[in-house]
Every structure is written in C-alpha cells, then in structure tokens.
C-alpha cells in the first residue's frame, strides 16, 4: 500500500512539474510580444497569447488531480464521489492583473529603481514564469481541495497534508509540511502558494502512511528552531553562504 500510494503521489507531482515547465517554455515563446518600446500598447497582444498558454495546460492540471484522487480512493477501497463541477481558476480580470504586474509593471519598476532595461526585462520574465507556474499549479491544488471539501460534505474523513517536490523547500513550506495530516476540509486545507512553490496536497485515506521521513525531519528542524520561522531562514542563509 505504501509503495503504491507513493507512486501515485510521485506521478501526480511529475505531471504538475512537467505541465508547469511546458507552460513556462510556451510563455518564453510569446514573451517577445511584450515590446519594451511601448509596453502599454503591447500588453493586450501578449496577455492574449499568455491566456492561450494557460488554457492549453489547465485541463491537464485538473485531470491530474482527478486521476490522483480517484486512484487513491481505489487503493483505499473508498467509493468515488462522482464528477465534480469545474468552476476553478481566476477571473479574467484577476488573470490580466497578474500578468500585468509580473510583466509591464515589473519592468517599469525595475527601470525606476535604476536597473538597465536588459536586467529589468530579465527579472520580469522570471517573475512572469513564476506567475504562470503558480496559476497552473494552483488549479491542481484547488481541484484536490475541491475533492476534499466534497469528502467532508459527504461525511467522510479524508485528511490533507502538504508535500513538496522541491529538493529543499523554503522555511515556510517546511514548517507547514512538518505539521503532517492535520487538515480536514477545503477551508482549512487550502493554501495560497507563493511563486515558484512546488508544494502539492497529500491526501490521507485509511491505510495511507500518516507521516513521511521529510515530515519528521522538518518537524525536528521546526522544534529545534524553537518554533521560530526567522531562525530557520537565518540558518538557510548561513548554509547558503557557506557553500
């Protein structure tokens, strides 16, 4: 059971990582539409192309979450809940605002701070890549949380924990991972991931291992810091400087 569950989680994370990376490559292809000679005039064409990139990959994110939950239920001998509504994602206004802030606004802010145009555009591209990765990964997260809420409303006791496909998540994510499966419904389980966050939901049914080695490792680290997130950040910074 443990191996099969871990295999499902690994496959789920691989699909999310693969689709996110593919979307980032597609965004790089359309990035030149954001003509730096007139950012305001160029933004609508760029935003339309970026929306198409997001639309192209969003279905795979939702399907990955559906398959992950369906197969977990099958392993646990839990009846499927049936089809769920697909009312997920950002409104058009929210999406345009995020693309605007990560693109033209980021470039203008960089120039105002005294960066060269090349540097400002480079950092805005990094910001935009993180934004599109987050938008798509949030779809998979929201879909999994939607499943959890349906479980909760059906009177079932599925729980949620956080896991990361990063080799070394940030201190905030490590702290949340260390808590283990303590969340029971969409309201308490859902989280606002930061850009470039590679955390995903780990759903706990009967027979699913409640704790992983990394959860225990991060809990020991959290306790060792005295429950001080800034102490963990300082330790990371010191370790980075030493390498």
Query: Tens of pLDDT along 156-213?
Result: 767 788 888 778 888 988 998 898 888 776 566 666 677 777 788 888 876 666 667 7
More confident position, 157 or 219: 219
* Structure tokens belonging to residue 222: 């959290």
If you average pLDDT over residues 125-145, what whole number do you get?
90
pLDDT for position 1: 47
pLDDT, tens digit, 9 for 90 and up, residues 67-77: 988 888 888 88
pLDDT, tens digit, 9 for 90 and up, residues 79-94: 887 777 666 677 889 9
pLDDT for position 130: 92
pLDDT for position 25: 97
Distance separating alpha carbons of residues 184 and 122, to the nearest angstrom: 41
Beta bridge partners of 160: 183, 203
Residues constituting the chain: 243
pTM (2 d.p.): 0.79
CA 162 to chain centre: 11
């Amino acid at each position: 059971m443990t191996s099969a569950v871990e295999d499902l989680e690994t496959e789920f994370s691989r699909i999310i990582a693969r689709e996110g990376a593919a979307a980032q490559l597609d965004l790089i292809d359309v990035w030149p539409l954001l003509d730096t000679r007139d950012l305001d005039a160029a933004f609508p064409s760029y935003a339309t192309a970026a929306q198409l990139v997001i639309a192209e990959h969003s279905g795979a994110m939702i399907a990955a979450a559906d398959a992950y939950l369906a197969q977990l239920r099958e392993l646990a001998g839990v009846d499927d809940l049936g089809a769920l509504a697909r009312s997920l994602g950002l409104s058009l206004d929210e999406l345009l605002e995020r693309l605007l802030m990560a693109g033209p606004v980021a470039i203008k802010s960089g120039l105002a701070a005294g960066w060269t145009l090349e540097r400002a555009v480079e950092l805005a591209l990094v910001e935009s890549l993180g934004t599109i990765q987050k938008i798509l990964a949030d779809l998979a997260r929201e879909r999994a949380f939607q499943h959890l809420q349906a479980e909760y409303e059906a009177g079932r006791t599925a729980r949620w924990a956080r896991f990361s496909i990063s080799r070394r998540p940030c201190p905030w994510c490590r702290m949340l991972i260390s808590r283990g499966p303590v969340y029971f419904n969409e309201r308490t389980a859902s989280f606002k991931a930061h850009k470039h966050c590679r955390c995903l939901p780990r759903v706990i049914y009967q027979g699913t291992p409640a704790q992983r080695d990394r959860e225990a490792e991060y809990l020991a680290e959290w306790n060792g810091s005295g429950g001080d997130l800034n102490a963990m950040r300082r330790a990371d910074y010191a370790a980075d400087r030493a390498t």
